[in-house]
Structure formats: structure tokens, C-alpha cells
Amino acid sequence: MADSEGNGKNKDQDEKKAGENVDKDPLPSIVSEKYPVQMFSYAFLENPKLLRLILTHCNKQKCEMTPSLRRTLLELTLEEWNNARRHGDVEKERVRRNQALAVSLSY
């Protein structure tokens, strides 16, 4: 069976190969090819709050996170808690403390 470009590939074989890749790797390889991590690393270094926001969303949605990502979330949350404490922002300090406790308990 030919594809739209006329390469003559069998569609069933392509689907089978794609299914095999998904079973072996929890994250499809297409995600890492389409959006390489290196594209975003500088943005996260310049604005760690953005990374904490994304990781917090993933944690709330109960996404599977590696221990290093959970550790990163905890460290970023503690950093914001410490900044709020130094600046006297009591409300933000309380919220970040509760978030840090929730993250540490999820280990």
C-alpha cells in the first residue's frame, strides 16, 4: 500500500512500529523530536517560576514525574517560600509552605 507521497510503505507496519515505541517508552518519541528540551532550558534558567508553574500543574494533575522533577519542584517551591519570608509576604509564605509540604509528602 502506497502512502500519499508514493513511497510504497505499508500503513499497518508503520502503525505497528509506532505502537511498539509507545509501549517501550512512557513518553512518545515524537514529543522529544518535536519539542527538544534544549529549546526551553534557557527560558527556565531565566525564569524558574515558569518551570515551577508547569511542574506544579503536573503534580496537581497527578502526572507521572521522575524523582528529579519532584525534587526540582520542591526546591523551587522552597526557594519561593524563602523569598516570601524574607520580603515579609505572609500570605505567599503560607501558600508556598503548604505546597512544599504537599510535594514532600508525595515522595
pLDDT in tens, 8-56: 554 454 444 444 444 455 555 555 577 777 888 888 889 999 999 999 9
- Tell me the CA distances in angstroms from 17 to 20, 67, 86, 97, one per residue in order: 5, 30, 54, 46
Residues 21 and 39 in one domain: yes
Q: Judge if 52 and 103 occupy the same domain.
A: yes
- Tell me, what's the pLDDT at 104? 87
- Hey, what's the cell of 11? 500503513
Give percent of the chain above pLDDT 90.
Answer: 47
Residues in contact with 65: Cβ distance below 8 Å, sequence separation at least 6, in sequence order: 55, 58, 59, 73
Q: Which amino acid belongs to residue 53?
A: L
Same-domain status, 19 and 52: no
| Confidence (pLDDT) at 105 | 85
pLDDT (0 to 100) of residue 17: 46
Q: Are 15 and 36 in the same domain?
A: yes
Residue 17 lies in a domain: yes
CA nearest to 83, candidates 98, 101, 96, 99: 96
| Residue 97: predicted pLDDT | 94
